C-alpha cells in the first residue's frame, strides 16, 4: 500500500501562484503514474495533471494547460504541481494519487490517494 501526503495548499489571490508537493512512501512506484486531482464543493473529483514514470510523460486537463506544470522526482518519490496564474475557479481540494499508467489516464485507474490539501483562490 502506498501512503501519499500532500502539502503546499493555501489561500492566494487570483493571478498568483502556488506549488503543491506530494511525497509517497510504502511501496516502490516504478512504472506507476502519479497525478493530481481536484474536487470543488458540490462537484465531482476531476483529473488535473498526471505524470508517468518517465520524464516527458505528462497529461493535463485542458482547463489548466499552460498554467499548471506537473513534475516528478523519482529519487525522492515526490510529485509536484506548480500552479501559476491561478483563477477563482481553481478553488478546490487537491488530491495526490498513484496508480498504473494507462493512456489516456482516468480517475478509476488510480488506487492510492492522499488526504487532500485545500487551495482557495480569491478574486
pLDDT value, residue 56: 78
Question: Phi/psi of residue 76, each to 5°?
Answer: -105, 5
Task: Give how far Cα 80 sits from Cα of 1, 73, 102, 112, Å.
Answer: 21, 8, 20, 16
pLDDT tens string, the chain, 123 residues long: the values are 899 999 999 999 999 999 999 999 998 788 899 999 999 999 999 999 999 988 778 999 999 999 999 999 999 999 999 999 999 999 999 999 999 888 889 899 999 999 999 999 999
**Alpha-carbon span 23 to 116, nearest angstrom:** 12
pLDDT value, residue 10: 97
Cell of 35: 497525478
pLDDT value, residue 65: 97
Is the distance from CB of 92 to CB of 81 less than 8 angstroms? Answer: no
Amino acid at each position: 500500500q502506498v501512503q501519499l501526503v500532500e502539502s503546499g495548499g493555501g489561500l492566494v489571490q487570483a493571478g498568483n501562484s502556488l506549488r503543491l508537493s506530494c511525497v509517497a512512501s510504502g511501496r516502490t512506484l516504478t512504472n506507476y503514474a502519479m497525478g493530481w486531482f481536484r474536487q470543488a464543493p458540490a462537484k465531482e473529483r476531476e483529473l488535473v495533471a498526471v505524470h508517468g514514470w518517465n520524464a516527458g510523460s505528462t497529461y493535463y486537463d485542458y482547463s489548466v494547460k499552460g498554467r499548471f506544470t506537473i513534475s516528478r522526482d523519482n529519487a525522492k518519490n515526490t510529485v509536484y504541481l506548480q500552479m501559476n496564474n491561478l483563477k477563482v475557479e481553481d478553488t478546490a481540494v487537491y488530491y495526490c494519487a498513484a496508480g498504473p499508467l494507462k493512456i489516456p489516464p482516468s480517475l478509476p485507474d488510480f488506487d492510492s490517494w492522499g488526504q487532500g490539501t485545500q487551495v482557495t483562490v480569491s478574486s
